[in-house]
Structure 1
Amino acid sequence: MRHGPPPSLEDILDMAETALSAIPAPLRDLVRGTAIVVEETPDDETLAEMGIDNPWDLTGLYRGVPLTQKSVLDVPLSPDTILLFREPILLEWIETGEELFRLVRNVLIHEIGHHFGLSDADIDRLEGEEG
């Protein structure tokens, strides 16, 4: 079996944008203005801030103020951002055999959940109800 090059940063971003476009319009409208950025791996500062030792354990991150905490009077200091980390996503893809698009979509939706103000426990509970 012949293998091609691993998916690039742009490939992962394309998958995330395709996944975002499939979200129902009312929810997608609430994410409008949130940047989606793909980086190779989380940086040391992010890992320290999150209390994570292994950079392969973090596939995505939401940076911003959740909708539940925003006020129309707030002046945003920086745009809300969803970060997807290519190398940890690819490692999970290899380890689990999950379809890559589905994995990228799941990470994106998890981080959108944080944008909506959901905790990891809330998201885990919803994912458990779904499957």
Structure 2
Amino acid sequence: MSDIDWSTRRAPDLATFETLAEAAFARLPDEFRALCEGVVIRVEEFPDDETLEEMGCESEFDLLGLFRGTGLAQGGGALNLATGQFPNMVWLYRRPLLDYWAEHDETLGHLVAHVLVHEIGHHFGLSDDDMAAIEVAAEE
């Protein structure tokens, strides 16, 4: 039996998720983080209706995270912002992440890191193998 008293625990709130995302980002390899200059990480409860429709989601729980912007592979980056253009952003969605976590056998911190790396990986145009290697390096 666990030493944690779950009867007094609440689901992590948005601020806690932001802390998890910041900690996951801090564990990424230095050279990877250096390339992320200007990428903004946001945590929201759910994706908005427009995003759900655009992504073809059947439920608001279908999307765990999202990269929006112009990836480095397409010539984007912090220094290439056109006037009025939003910065590159990674969105993490708290409620879908909690739902996924409840159904799978992994820690919440690992899940947040996985989604963060996957979404940032889109910024770089990385393959799934590249992203898996970055996750392994972050866990060492």
Of 9, 13, 21, the residue aligned with 2:14 is 9
Could you list the per-position Cα deviations for residues 62-101 of structure 1 after superposition, in whole angstroms to 9, with x for gaps in the alignment? Answer: 0010101116666261100000000000001101131000
TM-score, length basis structure 1: 0.87
Q: Does the Cα contact within 8 Å between 2:121 and 2:131 map onto a contact in 1?
A: no
- In the other structure, the counterpart of 1:50 is 55
Tell me, yes or no, if structure 1 residue 93 matches structure 2 residue 122: no
Q: Please tell me whether residue 75 in structure 1 is matched to residue 75 in structure 2.
A: no
Going from structure 1 to structure 2, the CA distance change for 1:29 and 1:3 (only over 3 Å counts) comes to: same
Matches within 5 A, 1:11-50: 11-50=16-55
TM-score between the two structures when normalised by the length of structure 2: 0.81
Identity fraction in percent: 43
1:7 is displaced (CA, Å) by 0.2
Residue aligning to 1:103: 111
Q: How many residues align?
A: 127
The aligned amino acid for 2:119 is E
- Structure 2 counterpart of 1:85, one-letter code: Y
RMSD of aligned alpha carbons = 2.2
Aligned to 1:113: 121
Q: Unmatched 5+ residue regions in structure 2?
A: 1-5
